[in-house]
């Protein structure tokens, strides 16, 4: 293995030597394919109880948003049982996902968080995508929220809607239209807290199921499967993705 | 501070005692607002050189996708200078963002990765959203990709397009239509590798600028600003988000 200087590696990554962090370094480093070898911690998953983790997600969601609520509740539960590396996972970073990432209304933060946890805990790419696909298809087609908090003051019924889309902009928009609430109302925030609990429970259910190597996942809805069977990765290959097509597209009259 | 048993806390989070991980534990724990106190590592940002980190993002993108490429290149650069906690950050988890998260075509993985890094490194919520807003607005309106790799075999010109949207489905679709490539072609993959480099450079540029407490950010495009000034959080409050409206909506003829 060749010896290369730390300065050479830093130079290739554009790190300025002026940061002055190298006193005491002997200036040499083992070269490898990656810039520097890393310790690989074990992100071991143990079975959790979906309803209980969902309640915790509901509780902490107002502190940092939907993505933070989902990720924080699952990481905290695993930190209690497994300890490190979960205890020092930077949960706070997940505040970025609120309101469909920085408030822009793109991917719902609960789904971004659920997919991030699946990314952390499921190494096999095919299986990882299977879990994400079931989570997203379930979200698009389910009447939500169904979670009811135990807090007496908030334990009232709430309108439920089928989002029809994984996008925050559409999901929030449909619920607000149905409920007559505006997008900044306390009612909308309560709806998104409950939704965070629901998506947390579903994510934990999927991670539990995935502990069985022979488990199966439901896949895309029949409608989306029909569209992507031609437009997806096989025939026409002219469309990227598996989001519910009907959220934005209508079939033209002369569609084959 | 009250003493509560570990079993009580685990029970509230739905962790099954049957996992049998508690031999040697004395069964007591300090109670706090959070389930268990955490060590808070310091995620300190130091100035990086955008072009050099972008080249690294381009190099590693094929190993794990667009979100992984962006996050991996920034984390690796900071791991070299700062060391921990960057060296043990679970970069592999970011493979979940490829193809707009699990291949579903929602938020472009480069933007999800850029926003995640901003989430990790910028604690103030207003400032964090300012960085994300500029990153997303720049992506929506810029002719990309502009990065050209130094590898001679791939150093050819490439069609550039304005995505007009932060969504992978639209961004990839427009580039494929313009270039005549299909969504699974090597050309599309090369385009997304170069795009990963571009968004990495822009993210690093924003993080560098943010080191100056008096810096400013450009904000939304004039078009989006005009739409959300009525539909957003102030007047009508009937629309969640700041994505480019024109990607999906046309102004009705009788719009005020």
Q: What is the mean pLDDT of residues A25-38?
A: 41
Q: In the prediction, which pLDDT does B3 show?
A: 46
Give per-residue pLDDT as tens, B135-174.
999 999 999 999 999 876 676 789 999 999 999 999 999 9
Burial class (CB in 10 A: 0-12, 13-18, 19+), A46: middle
CB contact under 8 A, A107 and B101: yes
Residue B17 has pLDDT above 80, yes or no: no
Residue A27 has pLDDT above 70, yes or no: no
Burial class (CB in 10 A: 0-12, 13-18, 19+), B158: middle
CA B17 – CA B21 distance, rounded (Å) = 8
Output the DSSP codes for chain B. --EEEHHHHHHHTTB-GGG---TT--SEEE--SSSS-----------B-HHHHHHHHHHHHHHH-HHHHHHHHHHHHHHHHH-TTGGGS-GGGGGGGTTTTTTS--B-HHHHHHHHHHHHH---HHHHHHHHHHHHHHHHHSEE-----S-GGG-S----EE--SSBHHHHHHHHHHHHT--TTSHHHHHHHHHHHHHHHHHHHHHHHHTTSTT-----S-HHHHHHHHHHSSSSS------S-GGGT----TT--
Q: In the prediction, which pLDDT does B238 show?
A: 85
Give Cα separations from A3 to A25, A27, B158, B184 (angstroms). 14, 10, 37, 39
Per the model's pLDDT, the better-predicted residue between B119 and B246 turns out to be B119
Per-residue pLDDT band for B118 (boundaries 50, 70, 90) equals very high
Q: In the prediction, which pLDDT does A38 show?
A: 52
Nearest CA in chain A to B45: A19
Residue A126 has pLDDT above 70, yes or no: yes
Q: In the prediction, which pLDDT does B99 show?
A: 97
CB contact under 8 A, A111 and B101: yes
**What is the β-pairing status of strands B28-30 and A3-5?**
unpaired
Residue B195 has pLDDT above 60, yes or no: yes
**Which of B88, B104, B184 is opposite residue A242, by nearest beta carbon?**
B104
CB contacts of B35 in chain A (<8 Å) are 56, 76-77, 79-80
Q: Give φ, ψ of B4 to 5 degrees.
A: -130, 155
Residue A190 has pLDDT above 60, yes or no: yes
CB contacts of B85 in chain A (<8 Å) are 88, 90
Q: What is the mean pLDDT of residues B74-96?
A: 96
**Which of A34, A56, A101 is opposite residue B107, by nearest beta carbon?**
A101
**Which of B93, B119, B240 is opposite residue A173, by nearest beta carbon?**
B240
Nearest CA in chain B to A121: B93
Give per-residue pLDDT as tens, A34-76.
455 555 558 999 999 999 999 999 999 999 999 999 999 999 9
Q: In the prediction, which pLDDT does B185 show?
A: 93
Lowest mean pLDDT across A49-53, A88-92, B31-35, B189-193: B31-35
Per the model's pLDDT, the better-predicted residue between A105 and B42 turns out to be A105
Residue B25 has pLDDT above 50, yes or no: no
Which of B96, B116, B125, B168 is most worth mutating to test chain A (most A CB atoms within 10 A of its CB)? B96
Q: What is the mean pLDDT of residues A159-184?
A: 96
Give per-residue pLDDT as tens, B198-254.
999 999 999 999 999 999 999 999 899 888 888 877 778 888 899 999 888 888 888
**Which of A15, A77, A132 is opposite residue B80, by nearest beta carbon?**
A15
- Distance (Å) from the C-alpha of residue B205 to the closest C-alpha of chain A? 12
Q: In the prediction, which pLDDT does A15 show?
A: 58
Contact A60, A95 (CB under 8 A): no
CB contacts of A236 in chain B (<8 Å) are 182
Which residue is associated with the tokens 């979670």? A147
CB contacts of B119 in chain A (<8 Å) are 92-97
CB contact under 8 A, A101 and B87: no
Rounded to two decimals, the ipTM of the complex is 0.86
Beta bridge mates, A143: A162
- Distance (Å) from the C-alpha of residue B211 to the closest C-alpha of chain A? 13
Lowest mean pLDDT across A105-119, A238-252, B74-88: A238-252
């Amino acid at each position: 293995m060749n010896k290369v200087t730390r300065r050479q590696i830093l130079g290739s990554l554009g790190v300025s030597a002026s940061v002055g962090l190298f006193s005491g370094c002997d200036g040499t480093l083992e070269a490898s394919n990656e810039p520097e070898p890393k310790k690989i911690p074990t992100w071991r998953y143990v079975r959790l109880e979906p309803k209980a983790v969902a309640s915790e997600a509901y509780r902490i969601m107002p502190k940092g948003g939907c993505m933070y609520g989902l990720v924080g509740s699952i990481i905290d539960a695993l930190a209690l049982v497994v300890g490190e590396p979960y205890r020092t996972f930077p949960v706070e970073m997940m505040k970025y996902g609120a309101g469909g990432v920085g408030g822009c209304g793109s991917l719902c933060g609960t789904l971004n968080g659920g997919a991030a946890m699946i990314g952390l805990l499921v190494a096999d790419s095919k299986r990882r995508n299977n879990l994400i696909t079931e989570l997203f298809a379930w979200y698009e087609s389910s009447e939500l929220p169904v979670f009811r908090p135990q807090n007496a003051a908030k334990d009232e019924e709430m309108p439920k809607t089928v989002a029809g889309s994984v996008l925050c902009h559409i999901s929030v928009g449909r619920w607000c239209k149905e409920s007559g609430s505006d997008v900044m109302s306390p009612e909308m925030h309560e709806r998104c807290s409950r939704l965070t609990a629901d998506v947390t429970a579903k994510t934990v259910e999927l991670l539990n199921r995935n502990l069985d190597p022979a488990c199966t996942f439901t896949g895309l809805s029949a409608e989306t499967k029909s569209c992507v069977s031609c437009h997806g990765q096989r025939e026409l290959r002219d469309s990227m993705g598996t989001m519910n097509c009907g959220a934005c597209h209508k079939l033209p009259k002369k569609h084959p």
